[in-house]
Amino acid sequence: MRTLTSADNCDLCGGRIFIPELQVGTWQLMRCSSCGLVFTSPRYTESSIAQLYSAEYYQGTPAYYLSQMSPPSTDDLNLARSAARTLRRRGRSLDVGCGTGRLVEAFRLAGFQASGIEPNEMAATAGRQLGREITSISLSEVPSESMDCITAMHVLEHAYSPRAFLAQCHRVLHVHGILIIEVPNYASRAARRLRERWEPLYPDTHLYQFTPETLKLYLINSGLKLLSVREVGGGGFLHSTAASSLSASEGSAPTAVSLAGRMRAWLWLSRHMVYGIPYAKEAVRFLYWHVLGQGEFVRIQARKESSTDLGGAGC
């Protein structure tokens, strides 16, 4: 049985005054009154979370697990190529929380000496069977200044302490190495409008709900120089499901006969037609994600400028 514990201090600024933010099923989200960071409290203990990821995580998400077994997507490959352009070289890359290693494969195809670490042994084994270099060690076991690029896609929100996680990333990166992180965007229009029905909440395993501002504060406090902050992806206002949870959820996903379901099906069909027009994909994404505020995820890129660890700075 998993046990619960409450947060005593804000992981970002150390504040101790919290304001109830949102009730999501049986889970309570709190907001730090000093810096605005939103997090789950009470939450599972660190040992309970570790057990969940090492043994149980993919059991409840078979569709996601199978998607990770597929070859890298165009977006995966574009991310790897973009990292190479930023670095102006290929080097050693590490994908943290890599699952079966689809992004590891994308970086290998882009010319990197690519590897990944994954706590779930079932996923790591499946990735190795596909020829991907994956181990089940923790980030703290990776040698210092051994990587040119670290990716952590939809990982930081799971970290028990994002501050400690980013300090480890800083340690592992070479000077001038880059870190690429993507997390759900709690400041997106969809999150603000749907609140407890916003699908990416997952309040039991997503321990933190980041906005672009709180994420930037984390990166700056970790001694990393911000290179870019982009709001990307998501289904926006067409989402109408209750926030997913391993232990409790309310409501159900929109069906094909619902209005939202029909609109989503029509938009997906139209997307393939429109994207065939030169530059249409970039224009649609800019309009939808940035102008209309529907970017449900934040992707941030930062560089390690020196070996000095500045992770102790406050907000």
Q: What is the pLDDT of residues 86-126, one digit of tens each?
A: 999 889 999 999 999 999 999 999 999 999 999 988 889 88
Assigned token pair, 203: 């309040």
pLDDT score, position 216: 95
Distance (Å, whole) CA 28 – CA 20: 7
Q: What b/e sequence results for 80-115 when a residue is b if at least 16 CB atoms lie within 10 Å of its CB, and e otherwise?
A: beebbeebeebbbbbbbbbbbbbbbbbbbebebebb
Q: Above 80 in pLDDT, residue 278?
A: no
Class of domain 4-255+290-304: alpha beta
**Is residue 311 predicted with pLDDT exceeding 60?**
no
Query: Phi, psi at residue 44, to the nearest 5°?
Result: -65, 150
Highest mean pLDDT among 152-166, 187-201, 293-307: 152-166
Q: Find which of 72-81, 105-114, 242-251 is predicted with most confidence, using mean pLDDT.
A: 105-114
Q: Cβ contacts of residue 283 below 8 Å, gap of 6+?
A: none
Averaged pLDDT score across all residues of the chain? 83
User: What would the mean pLDDT of 265-280 be, rounded to a whole number?
Assistant: 64
Q: Where are the domains of the chain?
A: 4-255+290-304
CA distance 96 to 115: 9
**pLDDT recorded at residue 115:** 98
Q: Which residue has the higher pLDDT, 94 or 261?
A: 94
Q: Is the model's pTM score more than 0.85?
A: no
Q: So what's the pLDDT on residue 63?
A: 59
Q: Is residue 251 over pLDDT 50?
A: no
Sign of CA dihedral 284, 289, 295, 299: positive
